[in-house]
Structures are given as C-alpha cells and as structure tokens.
Structure 1
Amino acid sequence: MAHATTTTSVHHHRSTTKVDHKPFKSRFASKSALKDQAKGKVESQRSERGQRKTPHQQVMSKLARRNQAKQLRMHHRDKKEGEELIFQGVDGAAKHIAVVPLSNDVDPYSAIKTLNESVDVSDSSVSSGTVPVRVDRFRRNLLYLPAKFDLFNALEICKLADWVIFVLDAEQKYGEEEDLFLRSLEGQGITNVTAVVHNLDQKVPAPKRMRHLTELNIALGRYFPALDKLSSLDSKSDCSNLVRRICTASTRGIRWRDDRSWMLVEQANWGPQVDETAATTNVTLLGTIRGKALNPDRLVHVPGWGDFQISSIRQVPRSGQKRKAEEMDADEPIKEWKPTADQDDLAELAPEEAEMQDAASTVAATEHKGVLLDDHHYFSDDNSHIPPRPKKLPPGTSNYQAAWFLDDVSDSESDMMSEDGDRDGDVAMDAEQDSLNIEDGGSVTGGKAPSEYPQSEMNLDNDDDEEGNDAPLEAEEEARQLAEFRASRRKKEAEEDLEFPDEIELHPDVLARERLAKYRGLKSLRTSEWNHAEDAPYEPAEYKRLLQVPEYRKAYSSVMKESLAGAVLAGTRVEIELRDVPVSLRSSAPHPSSMFSLLRHEHKHAVINLNVTLRSDLEEPIKSKDELVVQIGHRRLLINPVFSAAGQTPNDVHKFDRFLHPGRTAIATFTGPLTWGSVPVLVFQRRAPCQPLDSGDTTAAPALIDSNATTSTSTSAPTSTPSSPPSSLRLIGTATTLPPSSSRVVAKRLILTGHPYKIHKKVVTVRYMFFDRGDVQWFAALPLFTRRGRQGFIKEPLGTHGYFKATFDGRVGPLDAVAVALYKRVWPRGARVWE
C-alpha cells in the first residue's frame, strides 16, 4: 500500500522519431485527371521553363545590372557636362541670374552690389539695365537681370534665367499681391531657386536671427519646396558661398524653354529704310543662342512684336577670339547661315481650296419630319397612306376625346374616368388645375409662363411706371440697379447650374422645333455616333483651314527630332537679321527682351485644348466664353474659351459646361497658334469689367528689361489689342496644353422637363414639356428619362397643347419629373494676341 501511494503517473511527450505516412489524397493529380487537363494543349517551343519572350523581359544578371547603371550615370554626367560646357572659359556664355524683389522696399541693385563685393568684384554702381560680371575666382561670367515687383516684368525675366534669387525683406509679409506674384512664377515653370534676406541685422536682434530665417524659409518654401536655405546679405560668407554655388552648380532649366532655341536680346538695331513710305524694314538682334541649336529655316517669336522670318544669321567673334585672330596670319572667315527653300512661311491658315460639288450634293435636302437621333431622322417617312388602327371607344365619344384613349389602357370596364375616384389606379396630379381648360382653348398655364429667356433689362420697372407710383429714376441710379440685377442674375444662373444643370423651360408661345432647330438627340453621349454632316451648315468658314494633326505623338516626335539638327549651336554669339518687321513697332512697342525659335508648324492655327484647373478659393465660377488672358509658354493670348468635360470617350463627344466652378477641372477649347508638347499655362482674369476691343486704349505693354534711355518706348501709339496693367489681373487657375484636335465635339446639352399629369401603371400623361402638338410629333423619337432613373418613350400626342402619353420601363412616382435631352455642337472661338 505504501508503495502504491508513493508512485505517481509520469507524462510522456510524443516521440520525435515517429513517422507519419503521407495519406493518399491525390484528388485532381491522378493520371487520368492530368490527362484531361492537358487535352488540346500544345507544348511550348521555349527550351527553358520560365524564359521571357523578349530580351527586354528577360531577367538581367547582377553584372549586367551594374553595367546598365554605370552607363546611365555616364550618360547623365556627359549630358550635364555638355550643358555646362557653354559657360566655361573666358569667353563662355554668361549665366543669367534673375534678382527678383518680393516688395517695393527692396532694391535689387543693392543686392547685386553686395553679392559682387563678397567675391571681390569691382562694381561700377549700375542702377539700370542688366549687370554683366566676370567672377575670376570661379572662372564664370554672370549676367544679373534685375526685376521689379511687377508680375509681367518678373515673368519675362524668370523665363530667361538660369538662377532665380528672391530678395526678401527682414519683415517680409505674404498678402494677396505676393501670393499672386509667387504662384504665377511657380506655374510658369522656374529653374534653380534661392533666396536672400535684406536688412536682417538692422531689424532682427542677434538671438532671434536663426529662428527668424527658419520662419522665412518655411513661408517661402510653401511655394518652392526645393528651396533649402536662406542667406543673409549682411553676412559676407553667406554671399560668397551663394555666388560659388551659382557659378559651380549645374542648372535645372525649364523643359518647355529648353526644347526650343532662345536668346536674350542684348541689342536691337533697326536697318535703313529703302523708302521713307515703306511699312517694313529689317531688324538685327544681338545675343547668345541658348537651348537647342537654331535653325534659320524656322520662324522666331519676339514677345511684344510677333512672329518673323530670319533673313540671315552671322556669328559675332568674342573678345578672346579677336585676340587669337590678330595673332594669326590670315583671319578666319566669320560664319554666316542663310535660310533654305524649306523655310517656313507666315501663313496661319491653310490655303482655300475650291470644292467641286457633284450632282448629289446639289440636290435639295429632303424636308425631315422629326428630330435627328444619333445618325438617323426617325418618323420622317410619309405614313399618311396607312389607315389608323380602330380603337375601342365608348358610345358618343368625340374625335377630341378619342385622342385620350390608348389601346392598351382602355377596356370594356374602365373606359371613362370618374372625377371622384380612379378605379383603374390613375393618379390625378396637380389638383389645383389653375386655369387649365383645354376644351375651351384657354391658356395652358395660368399667369406668367416659365421662360428660358431672362427678364428684359430695359423694362424692369414697367409695372411701377404703369401704375404711376414711382417717378423715373436718374441715370446713375438706373445704371446701379442694372449692374446689381446682372450680378444677381449671373449668381442665380451659377447656382441653378449646380442644382439643375442644363435645364431650361420653353415659352408657351415659342415652337420648340423652331427654337431648338440646331439640336439633336443622342441615345448615349459617350457611345452614340455623331453625324458630322448635320454640322456643315453651322461650321465656321475657317474651320476646315485649321491645322489637322491626326497622329499627334508621331508628329511631335518627328518635330522634336528635327529641332536637334539646328545649324547654329548653343553658346554661339550671333546677330540675327529679321525680315519685314513693321516700322511702327519702333515707336509703339517696347524694347524686345527675348527671342524664341518656333518649332515647325507652331505659327499655324489649330483647335487648342487646355486642361484647366480653377483655384478652389475663388468666390465665383467662370462662365464659358468669358474673356480670359492666358500665357502659354512665351505667348500671351486673349481667349474666350468653351469649357467641356474632361476625359476620353469612344465617340470623342464631350459635354459642354456652362460654368467652371472653383476647384474643378475642365477642358478649355479655342482656336489659336499651335504649341507642341505639354506646356504649363497661366490663366488670368481681369478684375475690372472688360473693355471693348476697339476702345482705342493707348496703353502699351511695359518694358520687360530696363534699358538705356535710347531704348525707352513711347506709349502714345495704340496697339492692336488693348492691354491691362498687371495689377488689374488676377490668377484664377493653371492649365496644361493637350494635343490639338479639330474632331473633338463639344456638345451643349439642353434638358426639357415635364410634369406627370396622370399615371396609370407604366403609362404616364405628361404636360408642360411641349406646348404644341407638332413639337411632340417632331421630338417623338427622343428617349425619355426621369430623375429617378426610369427610361421611356413617347407613345402619342394628346390634344393640341403639347400633352402626350409616354410608356416607361417601370412605375413613375407622382413627385418625379420626366425629361428629354437635346444636344448641339458648340464651335470654339478664335484667340487674339494680348500685348
């Protein structure tokens, strides 16, 4: 017993050496199952399993990946060295340094003087124009371009700069004007950016300077995230390090600018006039070629002047080259380039071609009896010879009453409707029946009928004048009330466009088939075919003469490859003689600051599309066809764009937008000069009401780079298009150029809504959509829909006042609205040069 009490049970774990046999669970891996799976399959021709189809899909070895990375680094380094090669040497091209103040209290010339003194460069105290500097310490030539705190002046200078230096005040504030200034520079595209602070030691105590610089850096970094450090002009070491960085670091550049050949104009020499009465003459521009190589066959654009052909290009020897030439026995001839027979012309549109009309096109068009739906006119056949199908009618029913019965509704037990109830489930809508009396031929609607036309602005107070209660208003008070009425009406239209987009109401006295003669129906806006033959009578005269680019990617690639084969290499100092420059520009236009070479076809006009994004902080939306000022690369245009929905559709039909609301994106379409590539666009709007184009405004565009007194221009002569000072413009959004397309259809949609008057299962009697029986028959082919998603069609007209019966795919609710959509093509408007 004692032994039994002392023994305890011992727990043993499962032995680790125990082997569990794999169960036989082949499932679908049996021989017969594998044979069934392999039926019909062909053995792959690839020798190795998992091998890629093409060499680009094959996995590279570790050594091959290292070699590829090394080649990419070498290519990138060679490219950067080639770009920086034009700045090397005593006679190298000068780096353009834009000095941009962010307030009117900062003097850019004072900042330039401080930077020059930090690297022991003697300053001649230049107070106007550009400042050329030779920095022997870093063996570089610099050209300072001082700007003003002026929007367009800064935009013109920053697009020519390799470096941009912002000069901040120690107590810099960022208000609405500074925000517009910096956002415009950012949206245009900007190269390397740095910033310096002026009068920091005088306005900020020493213990707070580092923290104050950090705060200024964070505030400016919201606009330019690449900004890393702010320098103080009071510190000589900061200024010296900044100049060293500018001279030695590589420039980032601006893509749209560097894809073309461009030049900063140092001097413009007007040639002698052969005849005093001649309207044009030749002008020679002096400067250094930058960007891509210049081709004399391409046109050039001079901001403020226009587009011109090149007569000749002559190389100008630099100072070091002249000394070498003196040491030689025979002077080397100066190079000169002439245009060839392939030189571009100044034609903006294609030449008119006489269209031969065949016999079929001269036959008069058949008169249609119905609206166009997709690509066919339905119900246009003459069915008068077909006898009408008899209906089951109660005894004593008149012809007018017979029109209110359908075959699938009337039966022997429910032919007549009771005024007290609805045995068959009919629901009487809108029981008030104001003054509706169809049998008596009265008005369909009581009181004032809804109309798509706005109330007359000239007869706002007619009711008061007729009663004699109010005296005639004074001219100023009437003008004020008219302005308030227009502003309130525009605001109301914008609110209605958000709540009820594209909905209109026809006037009862207007026939819909006449008012909406240009409109057509579409079963689907995205997939239905658009019949372009119906647009021929309304097509603008010059639309067919616009440039057509069917394969944009292929054409763009060909143009860019052609631009690489320019004759005059970048870094060459040249004199470019322009042909047929108007003499009037000598006194009316400002001194040119830059010149850009146009790529092939960029002078020709096409249908331009911009992907516009409106700023979210705007208070009011922008209406289609409102006047806007856009800057596309080196051009500024005055446009009246047509807004449409963004995206790709199979039929290339896009819905017209009446308003572009803040924070939204749309496609702005107009006709103007072509610009290749994806170029950033700035969109401005006038703060004040627009002036008429022929108002005779004599304001000329401001000088872009300050020059000597001999190059100052007069502002007394009128320009072709009046301009506004930059302070009168506001930046409302940014955009990007899209491929031009003349086949892109912008379809304006109109929605006519009706009221379900009576409902019987799926059959609905609709009123207030049309007000004439002929209109119902004309638009009978259009599909109907409701706000709650029901689809239907017009069954037959009722009476003479536009009532009709419609059949839907389900029961329509009494609070629903029946609608029909109509579409019309909207043509883009032409752009004008804004100078």
Structure 2
Amino acid sequence: MGLEKGIAHRSGAFKQSNKEHKHGRHRSKGSLAQTNKGKVSVKKQTKRNKHVLTRDERRHQADQIRQNKRDDLLARKRSLGSIASAPFLVCILPLNKDIDPNSVLNLLTQCDEQAVVHKSPTGVTHIFLPRFKQKFSFIIPQMDNMLALLDVLKICDTVLFLVSAACGVDDDTVIDKWGHNTLTACFAQGLPTPVVALTDLESIGQVKHKTDIKQQIQKLIENWLPKETLVVLDKNPQGLNLLRKIGGQKKRNVFYRDRRPHLYSEDVTFVPNPEGTLGTLKVTGYLRGTPLSVNSLVHVPGLGDFQISQIDAPCDPFKVEKSRNNNAMEDDSTVVRVLDRCNPSLQESLDAENVPDPMDDEQTWPTNEEIKMAEKEQKQRKRRVPAGWSDYQAAWIPEEDDDFVSDASDDDDEDNSDKDYMDAMSEERSDVDADERSEMQSVAESEVPVSDDKYDQQMDLMGEKEALKKIKAAKSDVMFPDEIDTPMDMLAKDRFTKYRGLESFRTSPWDVSENLPSDYTRIFQFKNFDRTKKRILKEQEDVDGAMPGWYITVYVQNVSQLLWSTFKQTEAPVVLMGLFPNEHKMTVVNTVLKRTPYYNFPIKSKERLIFQCGFRRFAVNPIFSNHTNGQKHKFERFFQPDSTSVATFYAPIQFPPAPVLCFKEVNGNLTLVATGNLLSCNPDRLVIKRIVLSGHPFKINKRSAVIRFMFFNREDIEYFKACKLRTKMGRIGHIKEPLGTHGHMKCVFDGQLKSQDTILLNLYKRVFPKWTYEELVVSCANNDTMETL
C-alpha cells in the first residue's frame, strides 16, 4: 500500500546507519552545530568566558610589568649606600699575600677632601662622600684564618680584589697559591659583586710597558672573572672612580644570604648573668637582607644557634645630617629605643632532636632461648682495646662506638668502613701529603744535609703504612667494584644475613620504612619538603620586626661565658644570620659534592670531614653514594678524585639553595677537598650497599656448568639458591643444585660459558649514616689553612 500524499516518511529504529566517508578534514562549526541541534554540554555551561585582552590592554599590561620591575630594581638599589640606608659593605681582599690592603684603604679614605671617615670598634672603616651622597664600609679580613675570611664574604655586598703590577705578570705571581685557594672557596660558597683593582702600576717606568703589563694581567684575571675589567688604583682620582663604580654597579644576588636577615657587627658587648655561666651578647650593626623577628632564632658562626631576648634601635653614630651646609656624622645622641621584646609563647624552640617515647615501641619479653643466646654472644664477641688496658678500663668504652670481632660480624669488617677508636686515630695521622714530603725533602737536601737517622725520626712510619693500605684498597675498589671473598671459616648465610638479592637494582621495590635505625626516632621529617619550603618562604615576606637598613642592637641570650672567651681569642668577626622556622632541627641531609684538585687521595666513607653548608659549619662522618635519578642509589666505599658523589649525614635542616664546602684536616691544616650544593633534606633516600660474591667455572657443558669458590658449604648454596647469577661477559643464570658438601654447585645459564668468565652473585642491604654531628663552635685560626696537596 502506498503512502498518502503529504505524509513524510519516518525511519524506524532498525534503519541502517552507514559509516561516513573519511574525507581527512576536520568537521566545520556548522556541521557540528547541525549535529548537536542546539544541545550544550554541562561543562560549557559552567565554564566562565575568559576575557580576551585587546591590543591597548595588552600594551598597558606590558607597561605595568615593565614599570614594576623597574621599581623593584630601583628600590633594591636605593636600599644600600644612600643616606637613609645601610652603607655598601666592601671586603678588601688581595690575591697575593705580598700586597698590603691597608695602603689601598688609606688611599680610599684620602681620595676626597670632603669625605667623612669614621672607624667602628670592630675595625670597620666608614666613608661618606657628600658629592655622591653615598656611604661605604670597608673591612680587611684576617689573611691567616680562612674560615673567618669566608664568614666575612658571606655578609659583604662587594669584594674588592687587589692585584699588584710589582708582583710580576706570571700566573703564579699575580695570583699566588693562597690566592688560588681563596678564589676557589669564594666561588664555591657564592661570590658577591666583584671589583678588581690594579695597584703599583705607576712604579713601571715607560707608558708602553704599563699598557703591556695591564693587558697581560687582564688576561689572567679573565680566567677567573671573564666580565670584569681592571681598575687602576694608584692616585686619588682613581680612588674616586673606584668608589663611583662600587656605588653604581649592579649587585649580584646570593640567594641563601639575601633571603635571610644578616648583620655584621659594628660593636659587640658581652654581659655575663649575675648567676650561672651564661650571659647576653649584644651585637650592634646594620641589618641587611629581610626583616628580623625577635621571636626567631639566629646563628652566629663559631658560637651556635641562640634565641633573641630584645632588639633595640640605638642612635646611628654614622648617620648623616640632611643639611645642605653641613654633611657631618652625628654621634652625640645617646637615646636608645626598644623596638621589640620576645614573647616566650611565640619564640622558636631550641630543641634540635625529637624525644622518642620508648612505650611507643612494640613491647616483647625475651624467651629463655633468646636470653641464653645473648649471653653466649656476649662471651664470644671480643672488644678491640688499646694494648695494656685492663678489663675495667675497657668497660668504659661505649658499646655503640665499638666494633666487635665475632663470628657473625657485619661486612663492614672486610671493607674496613667501620673501625674502632684507635684505628680511626691512626687513620687521621696517616693522611700525609706526598708532594709536601717530597718538597720538604728537596729543600732539606738543597739547604742542609740531613742524616738518615734524623729523617727517619721525623717520619711517621705507621702513618705511611696506613696511607699505602688505604690507597691499595681504593685502587682495588676501582678495579673490582664491591667484590669480596666468601669466608671459609663460617657460613655465608650467617655472614651476610642482612643482605638480600634483587631481581633488578633499578626496578625492584624497597620499603623505605623497613629496619630503620634508632637514630631515626630523633630526627624530624617533612611530609612534603618542597611544599613546606614554599610556605615558609611566603610567610617570611610578611614578618614583622626590624627592617633592613636599620641600625639595631640584637640581644643574643644564653651564650656560654667560656665559649665567648674562647671565641674572642680567635679575633674572628661576629656575624649574625637569621634562621627560618625548623632550621634548628636535626634531619638527614644530602649534598652533591665534586672533588677539587687540591687533594688527590681517596676519601673513605664514614671518614671525618668538616662541612660548611650555607651559613653553618660542622664536622660529620658522611656516607657517599652515586648521584643518579633512580629511587635507589648505590653506596660508594671511596670518594675517588675527579668524581662527583652525594654525601649523606645527620645535620640541622636547611632550605636549599645553599653552597657546600668540604674540608679535611691534614697535618693540622684545613684542605678544601670538595665543593657542591645542598641537594635535599630527605631521610627516605635509599643508599644501598652492594657486595659481589664471585665464583669460577670448574666444568662447562652446553647449557650448564659446575661452579666453585663462590661458597664452601652445602647450606649456603641451598640458602642463596633463589638469587640470580650474572657473569662478567653478560650471561644470566641460576643455581640448580649443590654438588657434594664443599661448595661445588651446578648452575644453568642462557648460553655456554667461556673458561675465562667469572660468575657473580649480587647482594644488597641499606646503609645509614652514623650520628657523629659535631658543631664547630670556635673558628680555626691555623696559619695557611688552605694548603694545596
């Protein structure tokens, strides 16, 4: 029956729908609208329409951004050196010990007749130039105390390097050995704005020779400072030009310093408490960096961390009167205004360690069998003590610091990574510089003949043997990494009971909370370190307190009188650094280090080193590991020369970035052995120690082989049967069954072995640093503390 006229046909539910032709073009807006038939998704309905900026609005936005950057730059530039702000703090540092920095300072103080010069009690020279309307402060640090020199460079805004034309034009005379070491340390910890001045150029007769000498010295300086141009400093007009350059040049940003409040002492007073052995240290000076809160903690290098009791605003003795006729410094006023006093409820605590609750642990009562086993082990283990000590004297050695020789000792005895106290002392004496000894020998032979008996008396024979033993162990670790011998007098499963096998070092899982040491209950850990850092830095922008540029007096409370008297004898500068919240608490710190060319001996893990991390200085025994991107990092027994490694140790929290300098004490002097930066404060970093057991083929078949010398007991083969085997030539296999009772085993591989191949079994365990943190509370004042080895 046909359709009636005027009635349209409507397809049913079973109408065939053919696939559209793929024309290779995107659907147009019209076709999409026709398909949607007016329907709009829920997401499009709730989404707000973003305003599209017009051309004029974009131009106006760019002008605003440009103007804000310009205002920030001008505000930062006017925050130093002006009449109402802190002066430019300049450190005068010669690059040759024969240059006298006091002659340069005298020239700068006399370069302008209208200059107003004043000297603070701590030796800071203040110069005000009315023609520039700028103030300058000059410091001459101690040349024989490298640590005090580094403390001054942490605070100063500009460093004035001095080179002399009278010293010659060679690289070793313009910048001597001491100058090379000083520049290396300066660059490692963060160099402030540099200026290089050339002196004694007028002592050269001819003008042509002057130009040639200046060009040659300029080339030598460009090796260290490529963008710096020499400034001749011999006459008064040249001194004015130098001051103009210091006041007008762009300042470098040292982030770990600029984001914290810091102060260089203009005057220091110690007031002992009426009772007890403590006192209050009053430090007066110009505040720089960021605002300082009275409730925060401060760090004084060489003294430690302290709380603040009060902040005063005394009259600035170097303040300039804003008078057109008289630009003199006023110091007749004695009015002292109290800015703020501490609030005990808001003060940062000095608690550095967490106090664990022993009741939180699982309480189990030992069984009789465990008690008998412990008594048996107590009788079997032997204590290493110095010769001639009685049992009563040996009982006073702390147990956690001892290494015990027992049948079930750890693998630290093979690789000698943990030694007792006497071995550690002999190792400290063993690091003798070969170059220095040869130099001393050549000098002695050239000047005065020395008898063999006298020379032998001056040489440390035990130290020579220990140094040779250490060098051999480091070379063996390079040639045969992590390979050790299986003990023959005990079971390997007992010897390596703390180790496990891994299918893959990179991908196999490892629980970070497994078998943690007891020291981990004393540290602090962040849930998200990066997020906490961002939050604290944002909160520091709104801190109320003393503002940068103010002349203030900080009352540092509870300073030990004995500590202060010892620190005062070193004549080191008093530098004040403000701490962020939580920067006094202990955690596990990881630093990336790179070896320097000044020390060519390998450094062993758990060897005592002196670190300067940011503004802190302390001594620890770090462990070293590879610097990789994986979740597990291989433990390194030695920090080899010309290499990069990560040092892990217990230390107070510090928010990166922060430069790191690593020193080693050699013959009573400090030697810079490595430099780097702070990586993280993460206790969950997995440092995995690997040992490799090796065996050799005895009989080789097509797909299997008989292996010997890897184990010496049938029980060990059954215990390690599940571990995968690898060979040095790339074969992979597994243990099938033991043969006999003396360590022979049948193994199956993915191919036929070669007779010269070596079979390896890798075992792993996690290692932790030892709690050996020791804060250096008094600066070292040894001469030539940066010897080159």
**Which residue of 279, 285, 288 corresponds with 1:287?**
285
1:522-572 deviations in Å (ceiling 9; x for gaps): 111122122457624xx1x22122110231110000111122222221112
Letter in 2 for 1:303: P
Residue 630 (structure 1) aligns with: 611
Equivalent runs, 1:166-245 vs 2, <5 Å: 166-170=161-165, 171=167, 172-203=173-204, 205-227=206-228, 229-245=229-245
1:353 is the counterpart of 2:357: yes
CA separation in 2, counterparts of 1:60 and 1:220? 50
Residue 84 of structure 1: how far off its partner (Å): 3.2
Q: Deviations over 1:661-692 (max 9, x none)?
A: 2222111100011111211111222232xxxx
Mapped contact 1:119–1:137 kept (Cα < 8 A): no
TM-aligned CA deviation for residue 765 of structure 1: 0.8
Amino acid at match of 1:141: K
Q: Give the AA of the match of 1:161.
A: C
Cα separation, 2, equivalents of 1:218 and 1:36: 63
Identity across aligned pairs (percent)? Answer: 29
Would you say 1:832 and 2:774 are equivalent positions? yes
Change (3 A) 1:605 1:358: closer
1:788 maps to which residue?
A: 729
Q: Which amino acid aligns with 2:92?
A: V
- Name the amino acid aligned to 2:494: E
Does the CA contact (< 8 Å) of 2:597 and 2:673 recur in 1? no
Q: Give the alignment of 1:734-749 within 5 angstroms.
A: 734-749=675-690
Distance across 2 between alignment mates of 1:784 and 1:234: 74
In structure 2, C-alpha distance between the alignment counterparts of 1:807 and 1:767, rounded to whole Å: 14
Is 1:111 the counterpart of 2:104 in the alignment?
A: yes
Partner amino acid, structure 2, of 1:575: T
Which residue does the alignment assign to 1:164? 159
Partner residue in 1 for 2:129? 135
Q: 1:646 to 1:479 in 2, by over 3 A?
A: same
Is 1:642 aligned with 2:623?
yes
Q: Work out whether residues 101 and 148 of structure 1, in 8 Å CA contact, stay in contact via their aligned partners in 2.
A: no
Number of the residue aligned with 1:568: 546
1:264 aligns with 2:244: no
**Partner residue in 1 for 2:384:** none
Equivalence for 2:427: none
Q: 1:617 Cα shift?
A: 7.0
Q: How big is each residue's C-alpha offset from its partner over 1:473-510, in whole Å with a ceiling of 9 and x where there is no partner? A: 99968985543332232222222222211011123223
Q: 1:153 to 1:211 in 2, by over 3 A?
A: farther
Q: For 1:249, give the aligned amino acid.
A: Q
> CA 1:764–1:638 in structure 2 vs 1: closer, same or farther (change >3 Å)?
same
Unaligned ranges ≥5, structure 1: 1-29, 48-53, 368-450, 459-472, 689-723
* Alpha-carbon distance between aligned partners in 2 of 1:478 and 1:118, rounded to the nearest angstrom: 53
1:89-125: CA deviations, max 9, x gaps? 5443221011111222222121012123223355879
The alignment partner of 1:268 has SS state of strand
Contact 1:610 1:738 in 2 (8 A): yes
Q: Distance in 1 between matches of 2:24 and 2:462?
A: 87
* CA pair 794-61 structure 1, distance change in 2 beyond 3 A: farther
1:186·1:223 contact (CA, 8 Å) conserved in 2? no
| 1:758 match | 699
SS at match of 1:137: coil
Q: Secondary structure at the match of 2:291?
A: coil
Q: One-letter code of the match for 2:136?
A: L
Residue 431 of structure 1 aligns with which residue? none
TM-score scaled to structure 2, two decimals? 0.75
Residues 231-279 of structure 1 deviation map (CA, whole Å, 9 limit, x = unaligned)? 222243332211112223342242110110111112222224222xx11
Matched, 1:149 2:143: yes
Aligned to 2:21: 32
Corresponding residue for residue 4 of structure 1: none
Indicate the residue corresponding to 2:247 in structure 1: 247
Which of 497, 508, 515 is the aligned partner of 1:517? 497
Which residue matches 1:3? none
- Show the counterpart of 2:670: 729
- Is the 8 Å Cα contact of residues 758 and 764 (structure 1) preserved in structure 2? yes
Q: Distance in 1 between matches of 2:640 and 2:527?
A: 32
Tell me the SS of whatever aligns to 1:656. Answer: strand
Q: Which moved more, 1:182-191 or 1:207-216?
A: 207-216
2:71 is equivalent to residue 93 of structure 1: no
Q: What residue is the counterpart of 2:655 in the other structure? A: 676
Distance 1:798 1:479, change over 3 A: farther
Q: Alignment partner of 1:197: what SS? A: strand
Corresponding residue for residue 411 of structure 1: none
The residue identity in structure 2 corresponding to 1:664 is S
Distance 1:624 1:59 in 2: 60
Instruction: Name the counterpart of 1:666.
Output: 645
CA contact (8 A) 1:511 1:775 kept: yes
- Whether 1:779 aligns to 2:773 is no
The letter of the residue matching 1:809 is D
Deviation (angstroms), 1:205:
3.4
Aligned residue number for residue 738 of structure 2: 797
**Aligned: 1:588 with 2:582:** no
User: Could you say what secondary structure the match of 2:240 adopts?
Assistant: helix
Secondary structure at the aligned position of 2:764 is classed as strand
Separation (CA, whole Å) in 2 of partners of 1:483 and 1:334: 59
Residue identity in the other structure for 1:603? H
Secondary structure of residue in 2 paired with 1:558 = helix
Residues 703-747 of structure 1: per-residue CA shift (max 9 Å, x gap): xxxxxxxxxxxxxxxxxxxxx5xxx22222211101211111211
Large movers: runs of 4+ above 4 Å: 35-38, 42-47, 54-69, 121-128, 319-324, 331-334, 361-367, 451-454, 473-481, 531-534
Larger Rg: 1
Give 1:721's aligned residue: none
TM-superposed CA distance for 1:352, in Å, is 1.6
Cα displacement (A) at 1:340: 5.2
Correspondence for 1:306: 304
Structure 2: which amino acid aligns with 1:184? A
Q: CA contact under 8 A between 1:313 and 1:574: conserved in structure 2? A: yes
Bigger shift: residues 68-77 or 497-506 = 68-77
2:465 corresponds, among 482, 485, 494, to 485
User: Which amino acid is 2:740 matched to?
Assistant: G
Kindly tell me: are residues 301 and 786 of structure 1, through their superposed partners in 2, closer, same or farther at Cα, counting changes over 3 Å?
same
The 8 Å contact of residues 593 and 677 in structure 2, kept in 1 or not, is answered as yes
Match of 1:317 in 2: 315
Trace 1:318-717 onto structure 2 (pairs within 5 A): 318=316, 334-339=338-343, 341-356=345-360, 481-531=461-511, 535-536=515-516, 539=517, 541-566=518-543, 567-590=545-568, 592-615=573-596, 618-649=599-630, 652-688=631-667
**CA–CA distance in structure 1, aligned partners of residues 513 and 292 of structure 2:** 44
RMSD: 3.7
Query: 1:763, 1:806 within 8 Å by CA — same for their partners in 2?
Result: yes
Q: Distance in 2 between matches of 1:662 and 1:755?
A: 32
Query: Is the 1:786–1:816 contact (alpha carbons within 8 Å) kept by the matching residues of 2?
Result: yes
For residue 162 of structure 2, give the secondary structure of its aligned residue in structure 1: strand
TM-score (norm 1): 0.71
Question: Does structure 2 conserve the Cα–Cα contact (< 8 Å) formed by 1:305 and 1:585?
Answer: yes
Q: Any stretches of 5+ residues in structure 2 without a counterpart?
A: 1-18, 41-46, 168-172, 324-329, 371-412, 424-452, 779-789
For residue 257 of structure 1, what is the amino acid of its counterpart? Answer: R
SS of corresponding position for 1:200: coil
Name the aligned partner's letter for residue 205 of structure 1.
Q
Deviations 1:380-405 (CA, angstroms, capped at 9, x unpaired): xxxxxxxxxxxxxxxxxxxxxxxxxx
Matched AA of 2:651: G
What is the CA–CA distance in structure 2 between the aligned matches of 1:780 and 1:618, rounded to whole Å?
45
Preserved CA contact (<8 Å) 2:83 2:320: no
SS at match of 2:241: helix
Amino acid paired to 1:774: E
Offset from partner CA, 1:150-180 (integer Å, 9 cap, x none): 4223212221111111111212433432211
